[in-house]
Amino acid sequence: MTKQFAGKVALVTGGASGIGQATALAFAREGAAVVVADMAGDAGEETARSIQQSGAQSIFVQADITNVSQVQAMVQRIEDAYGRLDFALNSAGIDGTRARTAEYPEDT
């Protein structure tokens, strides 16, 4: 690996399983500190622990990304832990209205 993301911080929502987990592990292999965010506490903690055991930095933040206050708390936790955010992969799956992220109704 080239460690092309060394010194960078990546957020992966839905990072406890599936594509999100695979992406979180890939960011870590490339040197990024990874914030794993998911509603699934045990699985999210395990993903972060796996990343840490590989020698990379990682924290888990339990958050429902459909909840504005939880998203704000997640961002604050990232700020407190790392002071920056370089990448965000929004892999968390949610049901509801189909719309571009910037146009998605907050109340939905």
Domains parsed from the chain with CATH numbers: 9-103 (3.40.50.720)
Over the stretch 31-80, which tens digit does the pLDDT of each residue have?
999 999 999 999 999 999 999 999 999 999 999 998 999 999 999 999 99
Q: What percent of the chain has pLDDT over 90?
A: 80
pLDDT at position 73, please? 98
- How much is the pTM? 0.87
Written as one letter, the residue type at 83 is G
Nearest of 62, 60, 40, 41 to residue 50 by alpha carbon: 60
- The rounded distance, in Å, linking the Cα atoms of 36 and 13 is 6
CA dihedral sign of residues 27, 29, 34, 39: positive
Task: Pull the structure tokens for residue 55.
Answer: 């020698």
Which positions ≥6 away from 17 have C-beta within 8 Å? 38, 40, 43, 47
C-alpha dist (Å) from residue 104 to 20, 39, 94, 99, 108:
21, 20, 12, 5, 8
* Backbone phi, psi, residue 106, to 5°: -55, -40
Is the pLDDT reported for residue 28 higher than 80? yes
